[in-house]
Structure 1
Amino acid sequence: MKLIRDFAILLACLLVGKGLATLLPFAFPGSILGLLLLFFLLNTQLIPLSWVHDGGQLILRHMALLFIPVAAGLLGYVDLLNDGLGLIISTALSGLVLILLVVGRLYQRMQS
């Protein structure tokens, strides 16, 4: 019964987020809005963490299973991925370096 309540709260936040996304004049993922709504509700303690903890842990424990369909779908594009592999890796590495530099610079500014 506890898991049903946990999933109901998570699903309600997702549905409200998707509803808000349809009202926005620009494209924005409803799942992100739902996640922000859940964060707000938990942070303000309008919803206690114990109400969603077990359901969230269950989802996290089985998260790898949720990525199997995505990985299987990518197998249809192996030749396309091989053609752009160098660009993909260089973009990911340059993004990582850029993020590290920006976060390091912000940290230095906050410390002084």
Structure 2
Amino acid sequence: MTLIRDFLVILACLLAGKGIAALLPFAFPGSIIGLFILFVLLSTQWVKLDWVHDGGQLILRHMALLFIPVAAGLLAYVEVLSEGLGLIITSALSGLVLILLVVGRLYQRMQP
């Protein structure tokens, strides 16, 4: 019964995020808004961690299975991916370096 409650709370946040995303005048992922809503609800303790912990753990435990359909779908675009592989790798590495530099600089500024 607790898993049903956990999933219903997570699903309610997801659906609320998708509803807000549908109202926005620009494209934004509803799942991200839903995660932000869940974060705010947990931070303000309107939703207790016990209400979503077990369901979240179950989802995380089986997360690898959720990526199988995505990986199978990518196989249809192997030609497109192989043409832009250099650009994809360059973008990923430059993004990683940029994130590391910004986080490192922020950490240095926050230290007394």
TM-score, normalised by the number of residues in structure 1: 0.93
Partners of 1:16 and 1:103 lie apart in 2 by 31
**Count of aligned positions:** 112
The aligned residue for residue 41 of structure 2 is: 41
Partners of 2:82 and 2:24 lie apart in 1 by 38
1:45-75 Cα offsets, whole Å, 9 max, x none, are 1111001100000000000111001100111
Give the gaps of 5 or more residues in structure 1: none
Question: Cα offset for 1:111?
Answer: 1.7
The aligned residue for residue 106 of structure 1 is: 106
Partners of 2:27 and 2:85 lie apart in 1 by 29
Give the gaps of 5 or more residues in structure 2: none
TM-score, normalised by the number of residues in structure 2: 0.93
The aligned residue for residue 4 of structure 2 is: 4
1:88-99 to 2 correspondences below 5 Å? 88-99=88-99
Q: 1:31 is aligned with what amino acid?
A: S
Q: Percent identity?
A: 79
The aligned residue for residue 25 of structure 2 is: 25
Partners of 2:12 and 2:58 lie apart in 1 by 17
The aligned residue for residue 60 of structure 1 is: 60
Partners of 1:50 and 1:63 lie apart in 2 by 20
RMSD: 1.1
1:65-76 to 2 correspondences below 5 Å? 65-76=65-76
**Structure 1 ranges of 4+ moved more than 6 A:** none
